[in-house]
Amino acid sequence: MRKRIGILTSGGDCPGLNCVIRAVVSHATLTYDWEVLGIPYATQGLRERQAIALNMHGWDLRGIDPLLNMGGTILGTINKGDTLAHIDEMLASYEALALDALIVIGGDGSLGILHELANRGNWNLVAIPKTIDNDVALTERAVGFDTAVNTIVDALNRLTFTAASHDRVMIVEVMGRSAGHLALHAGIAGGADVILIPELSYTISRLCQHIAELRDRWQRKFAIVVVAEGAKLCLEDVQENIASACAPPKCGRGQYIADQIAQCSQNLIDTRVSVLGHIQRGGIPSALDRLTATVFGKTAVDLVAQGKFGQMVGWQNGEAIPVPIQDVVAQSPLHVNPQGSLVQSARCLGIYVGEKT
């Protein structure tokens, strides 16, 4: 009997999801002659037993395949709701759709939920990591991260010229609630002077001292500050600033830092804040994300063919390999190593990245 597999995208969108779908459908249909069902809107679509038959030429535009360079996901996705409150419906839907296996593309939160559903329902599950935060454990790459870094670097390149022209400090707030990979990678590549991440707390006095040193010692009248949305003050600064009208979470980290820089410079330093927000999630996937997505999709289909379930496709030492989803869930989210080579490299470049302890 012809095998039938399902595929869904879950959690926040990111560039490269459609490349994964493209690779899965191509390999499953052309190599194995399987039927592939796309499940719209993640677990919501599964619960409602929605399914779309996918094939390699169903989305052609005069023979042109748009999925390779299309952002977002053609299947739609959700990152809200209480999925586990509807476990029985989910389990029944998997059976009703007569799936032989399910390939899911998600971040650490989605993978945890789907792994639990698979355990409850004895599903044949294979996972593919995607996240612009790069915080999924046991993989050196996740679909979407490289494009998001490039998007931020492009913004920093543009803002640097404006900052230099007006002698301003530009504060750029990026995503990263608990992990600072995005801010750290983009900040180094984009020439930031300050990078603030959740894993290393910072002090206002040291931040202001660093900016003052750039101006007084090196005659740099502008600066670029990259701050992750989850960056944290040192403990000694928390109590002092807790009553501030703009202390997080009353306002964003970027605006708070701008206010503090203005205050410590007695309003002599002109600041501007750019919150990139969901711009980081959009756009055409980079070449690296396209390659990663293609290899992940192909490998996931092969794992289904080999009957190796309960696995996530990870990237380690230049190869796509299977790793147990339960281990991924247990070790996620993956945080920046405060003693790692990237943090040390940033410090060697004269970038303030928070306190060493």
Residue with tokens 């994300």: 289
Query: Per the annotation, does 100 bind a ligand?
Result: no
Q: Report whether 281 belongs to an annotated binding site.
A: yes
Phi–psi pair at 202, nearest 5 degrees: -130, 160
- 2 known ligand binder: no
- Residue 81 known to bind ligand: yes
Q: From CA 354, how far away is CA 235, in angstroms rounded?
A: 13
90 is in an annotated binding site: no
Query: Which amino acid type is present at position 56?
Result: M
Q: Is 4 annotated as a binding residue?
A: no
User: Does 272 count as an annotated binding residue?
Assistant: yes
* Tokens matching residue 69: 């360079």
Contacts of 13 (CB under 8 A, 6+ apart): 71, 72, 73, 77, 281, 282
**Is 167 known to sit in a ligand binding site?**
no
The answer to whether the annotation marks 120 as part of a ligand binding site is no
Q: Binding site annotation covers 278?
A: yes
C-alpha–C-alpha distance, residues 35 and 202, integer Å: 53
Residue 49, annotated as binding a ligand: no
12 labelled ligand-binding? yes
Alpha helices, DSSP H only, in the chain? Answer: 17-26, 42-47, 87-96, 108-121, 145-166, 181-189, 204-216, 235-241, 253-264, 287-306, 325-331, 341-348
| Residue 100 is a catalytic residue | no
Nearest to 300 by CA among 162, 106, 153: 106
Q: Dihedral sign, CA of 179, 181, 184, 186?
A: negative
Decide if 351 contacts 187 (C-beta within 8 A): yes
- From the candidates 13, 65, 88, 133, give the one annotated as an active-site residue: 133
On whether 133 is known to bind a ligand per the annotation, the reply is yes
**Is 327 known as a binding-site position?**
no
| 80 annotated ligand-binding residue | yes
Long-range contacts (CB closer than 8 Å, 24 or more residues apart) made by 27-30? 27/297, 27/298, 27/301, 27/302, 28/301, 28/304, 29/55, 29/56, 30/56
Positions at the binding site: 12, 80-81, 107-110, 131-133, 168, 175-177, 229, 272, 278-281
Question: Residues annotated as binding site for Mg(2+)?
Answer: 108
Known binding-site residues for substrate equal 131-133, 168, 175-177, 229, 272, 278-281
Tell me the binding residues for ATP: 12, 80-81, 107-110
| Catalytic positions, written as ranges | 133
